[in-house]
Amino acid sequence: MKTKNRPPRRRVPAQDPEAAAGERTPDGPQQGSGLELAKGLRSRTVRAQGARAEGGRRRPGASGPGGRRENSVQRRLESNERERQRMHKLNNAFQALREVIPHVRADKKLSKIETLTLAKNYIKSLTSTILTMSSGRLPGLDGPGPKLYQHYQQQAAAGGALGATEPQPEGHLQRYSTQIHSFREGS
């Protein structure tokens, strides 16, 4: 199921936050994803879930004088606008990234996850290429080669550039090519 080459959709921003909140179910959020577990955000999410479970969805300005209520609604609208702008900036950054990653899906737009995955492996393949080219230098001579290689080894040891179970550097280009191919096939 590919959803590429779709014209950018533009939602009509809700003008009434309370009405928008009414569309939501009162049920709490689903269990935390593996992503947030990986990022160590579990405790934070659990606290948020607890807060929502106690009082349910808090509706902005649901209580208090009308003036405070209007203030609250206004702040919520401004907050929504800022969040939209933030997401637009994020999407612009994704688009900029798409444009610098070589890939073979010129006819279809890369999804965000595809963009990130390809970018990661592209960086790895470039790194391995640089290492390969610089490894031909004579030992003892000053130059970027040995230092670069040392840095790469340190990253690998720390689980950074290569990761514990990653193949050797020369495997990255092959992996990147394979991934491009799989994306082209639409898998």
Partner DNA sequence: TAGGCCATCTGGTCCT
Partner DNA sequence: AGGACCAGATGGCCTA
- Enumerate binding residues for DNA (CB under 7 A): 1-11, 13-14, 17-18, 20-21, 23-25, 27-33, 35-36, 39, 41, 44-45, 47-48, 51-52, 55, 57-60, 75-76, 78-84, 86-88, 91, 111-113, 186
- Min dist CB 140 to DNA, Å, is 43
- Min dist CB 58 to DNA, Å, is 4
- Min dist CB 174 to DNA, Å, is 24
- Min dist CB 105 to DNA, Å, is 12
114 by Cβ neighbours in 10 Å (0-12 / 13-18 / 19+) ranks as buried
- Measured from the CB atom, the residue of 84 and 147 that comes closer to DNA is 84
- Min dist CB 67 to DNA, Å, is 15
How far is residue 62's CA from residue 70's CA, in Å, rounded to a whole number? 10
- Measured from the CB atom, the residue of 82 and 184 that comes closer to DNA is 82
- Min dist CB 157 to DNA, Å, is 27
- Measured from the CB atom, the residue of 47 and 147 that comes closer to DNA is 47
Here the tokens at position 111 are 């999804």
Name the one residue in this structure whose structure tokens are 């999410």: 45
- Measured from the CB atom, the residue of 70 and 170 that comes closer to DNA is 70
- Measured from the CB atom, the residue of 88 and 147 that comes closer to DNA is 88
- Measured from the CB atom, the residue of 25 and 168 that comes closer to DNA is 25
Print the SS3 string covering the chain: CCCCCCCCCCCCCCCCHHHHHHCCCCCCCCCCCHHHHHCCCHHHHHHHHHHHHHHCCCCCCCCCCHHHHHHHHHHHHHHHHHHHHHHHHHHHHHHHHHHHCCCCCCCCCCCHHHHHHHHHHHHHHHHHHHHHHHCCCCCCCCCHHHHHHHHHHHHHHCCCCCCCCCCCCHHHHHHHHHHHHHHHHCC
